[in-house]
Each structure stands twice: as structure tokens, then as C-alpha cells.
């Protein structure tokens, strides 16, 4: 696991935002990359786009000297996840996601050489009521904390979590792991299918390393201007 503070790494501004290519065709994904790559150099390939474009779209992005978060949220028996990570590792995405089950995390970590594994703690589309419906008696904050500690013990690179939980994780567990925060909204944007959401500024002030932004930019009247405004806000916080 990378210790960000001890290694003195400063994440470049253009990599703080991970733009979510949540589209259903490689052509549309490429159009977004070409539009935004002058400002944003980190892109998320999720399940929808991966099923449409496979590793070809991952390769295309990486070959442009850009970073990829391959967000497949792998969840299967540990041996299958281990084999899947070996295949993914050949393509060198910067981040790859798995669900935060102890055995799965350990299996993924054992197979990863060229990609950092991130554990998905609790999906930001879930809240306390949803956890109760799933038969879980623990509260969201405690569950995220436990899964993050397990990810550290397993040797993973970091976690995907809500911005509402980042500050607590940093206070209890330090800075030796990446925190990637989805569910980012503007002050005026509806929450849509995300429940535990924060603004970009709230996420970074809480200790996030990266945010995942999709519809906030994609649905903007001027996507480049929206990206520029976000980057200006982040710049004021860090640089």
C-alpha cells in the first residue's frame, strides 16, 4: 500500500478528478476523452462501457498517456477474482476495484503488480435503511471503517467511499492509502441515485485524494467550463 505522505507524492491537479465514462459506446467515450483531456487526465471505465468496448477502450485511453480507473467492482470466489486481476494487470490500469470482502481483497492483492486495487466499502447509493434491508445491523460509518482497515491489512492501495466518511477514516487510519470519492454533486444538483453525496470541496477538505465526477460535467451546458470551475476550486484547496 502506498504511503502518500511519506513518499512525498503530490497528486497533479489534472488527476484529482476522475471523469466517469458512463456511456454505452466506445465512440462516445472517446469523444468525451478528446473533449476533456486538456483538463482531466484520469478516466473511469465502468461495467457498461467495459461490456461495450472491452480492453480495447482501456488500451486506447492508456495509450494516450492517460490514467484509467477500471471500475468493475469484482465480486466472486477469491480464486476467480485472483485470476481476473491477473488478466486485468496485463493492461496496467492505474486503479481496479473489488468489493470489500476480506478473502476477495487478499486474493486481488496477491495477483496485482501493475494496478492498485481499491476496495469498494459501501456503495454511495446505499444508506442506513438499505443496510438494514440487507440484514446488516451495523451502522454505515462502522462498516466503512472495518472494511477500510481490512483493505489496509490485505495490502490494497486504497478504498472507494463516500465523502461523508473520509474525515473519519483519515483521523483513525492516517494517510497511507488512497481515498476515491464518487457521488459528487454541485450545491444545486439533485442527488439522483446517490444518497451519501458531498460536493467536490467537501470531499477534498475531508481528505479525499480523488473524486469521481460524471453527470455534473456530462450534463453541463458547457462541460469544459464546468471542469474548469471544479479544477479552480480544487486548486484553491491544495496548490
User: Which among 73, 141, 172, 195 is annotated as catalytic?
Assistant: 73
Angle between helices 47-62 and 26-36 (to 10 degrees): 50
Instruction: Say how far apart CA 192 and CA 188 lie, in whole Å.
Output: 12
pTM: 0.89
Residue 90 falls in the annotated catalytic set: no
Look up residue 22 and give its three cell numbers. Answer: 458512463
The residue extents of the domains of the chain are 4-238
Tell me which CATH homologous superfamily contains domain 4-238. Answer: Aldolase class I (3.20.20.70)
Q: Are 211 and 13 in contact (CB under 8 A)?
A: no
Task: Tell me the per-residue pLDDT of 147-194, one tens digit each, with 9 for 90 and over.
Answer: 999 999 999 999 999 888 999 999 999 999 999 999 887 755 544 544
Q: What is the pLDDT along the chain (239 residues), one digit of tens a residue?
A: 444 443 446 899 999 999 999 999 999 999 999 999 999 999 999 999 999 999 999 999 999 999 999 999 999 999 999 999 999 999 999 999 999 789 999 999 999 999 999 999 875 554 455 444 545 556 778 888 999 999 999 999 999 998 889 999 999 999 999 999 998 877 555 445 445 568 899 999 999 999 999 999 999 999 999 999 999 999 999 88
Amino acid at each position: 500500500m502506498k504511503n502518500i505522505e511519506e513518499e512525498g507524492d503530490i497528486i497533479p491537479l489534472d488527476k484529482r478528478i476522475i471523469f466517469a465514462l458512463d456511456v454505452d459506446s466506445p465512440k462516445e467515450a472517446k469523444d468525451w476523452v478528446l473533449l476533456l483531456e486538456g483538463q482531466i487526465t484520469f478516466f473511469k471505465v465502468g461495467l457498461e462501457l467495459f461490456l461495450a468496448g472491452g480492453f480495447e477502450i482501456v488500451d486506447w485511453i492508456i495509450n494516450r498517456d492517460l490514467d484509467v480507473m477500471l471500475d468493475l467492482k469484482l465480486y466472486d470466489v477469491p480464486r476467480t477474482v485472483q485470476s481476473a486481476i491477473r488478466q486485468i494487470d496485463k493492461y496496467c490500469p492505474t486503479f481496479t476495484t473489488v468489493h470489500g470482502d476480506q478473502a476477495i481483497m487478499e486474493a486481488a492483492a496477491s495477483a496485482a503488480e501493475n494496478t492498485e486495487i481499491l476496495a469498494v466499502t459501501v456503495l454511495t447509493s446505499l444508506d442506513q435503511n438499505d443496510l438494514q434491508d440487507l440484514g446488516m445491523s451495523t451502522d454505515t460509518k462502522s462498516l466503512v471503517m472495518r472494511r477500510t482497515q481490512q483493505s489496509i491489512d490485505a495490502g490494497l492501495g486504497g478504498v472507494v467511499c463516500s465523502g461523508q466518511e473520509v474525515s473519519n477514516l483519515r483521523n483513525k487510519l492516517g494517510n497511507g492509502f488512497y481515498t476515491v470519492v464518487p457521488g459528487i454533486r454541485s450545491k444545486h444538483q439533485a442527488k439522483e441515485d446517490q444518497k451519501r453525496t458531498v460536493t467536490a470541496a467537501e470531499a477534498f477538505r475531508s481528505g479525499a485524494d480523488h473524486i469521481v465526477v460524471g453527470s455534473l460535467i456530462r450534463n453541463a451546458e458547457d462541460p469544459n467550463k464546468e471542469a474548469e470551475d471544479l479544477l479552480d476550486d480544487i486548486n484553491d484547496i491544495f496548490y
